[in-house]
Amino acid sequence: QVQLVESGGGLVQAGGSLRLSCAASGGIFSRNAMGWYRQAPGKQRELVAAISRGGTTSYRDAVQGRFTISRDNAKNTTFLQMNSLKPEDTAVYYCAADQYCTGSGCYARWRNGMDYWGKGTLVTVSS
């Protein structure tokens, strides 16, 4: 069983930056794929970024070039650096882990979700 705890959300002005962190416990972190999802009010949850077990990263088009996902296996932590934030980035951001499908070819599966979820952290971008 994997437990995930997000931190780093908050209120920021458009154009600003935030760095989200996700601390994992349980399981073997380095073997998992990790992802960041978001859900805005009235909208479906969407995959923002993912990083495979081997470190390959993938991003949705709307955040490409602005967001960076990374992982520190020694600290069992994954990060989402968010720059040039826009009001449309406002959402609850969730960290997730996949123990089953962990390679870079799993992106299609990850779009539908992963095995384990954190409780989320709210990011609000004001205009």
Instruction: Write out pLDDT tens, residues 55-83.
Output: 999 999 999 999 999 999 999 999 999 99
Structure confidence at residue 1 (pLDDT): 87
Structure confidence at residue 72 (pLDDT): 97
Closest to 89 (Cα-Cα) out of 49, 33, 52, 34 = 49
pLDDT greater than 90 at residue 112: yes
- Cβ atoms < 10 Å from Cβ of 69: 22
Task: For the chain, give the percent of residues with pLDDT over 70.
Answer: 100
The C-alpha atoms of residue 12 and residue 9 are separated, in whole angstroms, by 9
The C-alpha atoms of residue 61 and residue 28 are separated, in whole angstroms, by 30
User: Cα-Cα-Cα-Cα dihedral of 126, 85, 103, 3, to 10°?
Assistant: -40
Structure confidence at residue 41 (pLDDT): 92
Structure confidence at residue 27 (pLDDT): 85
